[in-house]
A and B are shown apart, each in its own frame.
Chain A
Amino acid sequence: MVGQQDVLEALLYATIAGGHVVLEGPPGLAKTLACRALASAVGGTFKRIQFTPDLLPSDIVGTRVFDQRSGDFTTALGPIFANVLLADEINRAPAKVQSALLEGMQEHQVTIGPNSFPLPDPFLVTATMNPLDSDGTYALPLAQMDRFLMKILVAYPSVEEELAIVGRFGGAPPPMAIGTATPADLLRWRDEARAIFVDARIARYAVALVHATRAPHPYLDRGASPRASLALVATARARALVEGRSFVVPDDVRASALPVLRHRLAFNYRTLTESVDPESITQALVAGVAVP
């Protein structure tokens, strides 16, 4: 990939923190490529689901099939059974299909018929979505969004970066890094991240950031849940690990705040009628909390 340093870092932090990540941006900004590259780098099994309006939940989790020879039902597991799942253009499917991912994302298991099946470990959902005002898109349910650790906004590249893209991808596709790490490495990094020290002041700062979203606000219907506090601390720990520290500093929390919070806030109709950018509201909320 060329540029998009923030996107790559956020993907790395989410992978280490054991969370799922959703990338939002207009078509053509290498969102899918970023997810494929991550999956290729960490090895393990990789599955991709193209979300379409006629997709069914069973197309994701699997279904029960009647076996005429044995006279019994057997279970055909769906593509969700992978270490890295790419849910491409997730908001092109209606809410009931998106919700099929809920159990897997939160509990790392899937229930088909009377049986529950554990998902492989590590299990990471990387989703891409187009902005909501694109034609043929559905808003993701808030419960679904809350299960994504981070939402990363993918921006257009600069002129220099775009020139580099033209040079690199104009001919044959460049090879992808394969197996740079293994699923076992991921699990080890995850354990190391959990051991990163978080001072009480830092934890209080993270909670204060989340609480700031719950204060009455003219453009907000609902703020972030306690799951956001957990996500914020987990992401800050992952960042500290990547930076080579055994403890979290305020910069770790601040850098994680926008990606962790932006998709968990429910903005009201006034943001639409008054054309207020929700991102600017989230930025103002984050800036309003004093650093420890």
Chain B
Amino acid sequence: MARRARVAALAVAVAYAELAAFASAQTYETLHVRRFTMSVDRTTVEVGEPFHLSIAAHVDEPVTQLDNLTLPDLSGFDSLGDERRCVATSAGSDCVETLTLAATVAGVRTIAGATLDAIDARTGKPSRFTSDPVTVTVTGTAFLDPLRGLVSGLLFAAVRAFLIVIFVAAFAFAVVWSISMWRKPAPRPRVAVSPRVPPAAPAPPPDPNAALRALADALAHEPTRANALRLRQAMRATMDARDDETFGDLARRGAAEPPRLAALGAVERAAFCEDERVPDAVREALPSLNF
């Protein structure tokens, strides 16, 4: 009877675990993982010396982060920093997580592989991708290497006692010198009365139109295609235009007031018309350039 109860309990536990795994798989991203690697910038470091551990993945999908990336066990290392970066291109996404670590214990240390849980787009099933482990050789230092604990402990105690003596002596000298200086009357300094300087006025906020005015003046002075392009670029910047947005896109989203958009259109005409027509196009644009 007891044996049957144990088997039933085990079955329930297994079913629960599978359900939990299934539920967790539902939150995974569907990814084509092309590359998943882990590396260090140096394989030999000293105790306490910072080094970088990089975990890199390339997936076909455009992602901004890898949600289910699990770092390896890093016991024996202090984590000094962590940087995550994902760059999405037309060829997929390159994600790199860089950890800055410092070993606390000397010896040959193997860092187990990092894991990435995702729905494998090739099979449609939840999968765990694991990188190769990396091995780091950590050499000891005089004060922290436990293999030399006894010697270094004695040395450390001696150095600490010496430093304490030096510190006490310096403190005593400083006290004596301060008292002697306090007793000697110091010559009264002649203080020149300087006119009261009013507090500096806060700098006025930069005028975004000032640069446009300067560029428009330059265009009026020298009506060339290059000047028209410069002014057009500056005007687009004031409208927060993205690189892929055309004038039509800006007009459709109402990126600026209609007069400003009309001015941009006029400058664009000057920037792209025939060479011999550039001065005329600039002349036609100038009345609208009221910045």
Chain A interface residues (CB < 8 Å from chain B): 197, 199, 201-202, 212, 215-218, 245-251, 254-255, 274, 284-291
Contact = CB atoms under 8 A, between A and B. Distances in A.
Contacts of B272: 199, 201-202, 247-250
Given A246-B274, A249-B272, A254-B246, 15 more contacts: A197-B273, A201-B272, A212-B90, A218-B60, A218-B92, A248-B272, A249-B247, A249-B268, A254-B248, A274-B121, A285-B90, A286-B244, A290-B243, A291-B244, A291-B246
A215 B92 CA distance: 12
Contacts of A215: 90-91
B31 to A, nearest CB: 12
Interface in B195-248: 243-248
B165 to A, nearest CB: 68
A217 B90 contact: yes
Interface of B: 32, 60, 90-92, 121, 243-249, 268-269, 271-274, 277
B252 to A, nearest CB: 10
13 contacts: A199-B271, A199-B272, A218-B32, A245-B269, A247-B269, A248-B272, A249-B247, A249-B269, A250-B247, A288-B90, A290-B243, A290-B244, A291-B243
A107 B132 CA distance: 59
A287 B272 CA distance: 21
A216 B274 contact: no
Contacts of A254: 246, 248-249
A105 B146 CA distance: 84
Contacts, number: 56
A291 B245 contact: yes
Q: Lowest 8 CB-CB distances: which A-B pairs, in order?
A: A290-B243, A251-B248, A197-B274, A218-B60, A247-B273, A251-B246, A250-B246, A287-B244
Contact of B91 (A217, A249, A274, A290): A217
Contact of A246 (B32, B271, B273): B273
Nearest to B241: A291
Contacts of B274: 197, 246-247
Contacts of B269: 245, 247, 249
Contacts of A217: 90-91
Contacts of A212: 90
Contacts of B247: 249-251
A245 B269 CA distance: 9
A285 B244 CA distance: 11
Contacts of A248: 272
A13 to B, nearest CB: 15
A204 B133 CA distance: 47
A290 B91 CA distance: 17
A7 to B, nearest CB: 19
Given A249-B268, A274-B121, A216 B246 contact: no
Contact of A284 (B32, B90, B91): B90
Contacts of A290: 243-244
B281 to A, nearest CB: 9
A286 to B, nearest CB: 8
B97 to A, nearest CB: 23
Contacts of B121: 274
Contacts of A202: 272
A23 B247 CA distance: 28
Contacts of A199: 271-272
B90 A289 contact: no
Contacts of A287: 244
Nearest to B268: A249
B261 to A, nearest CB: 13
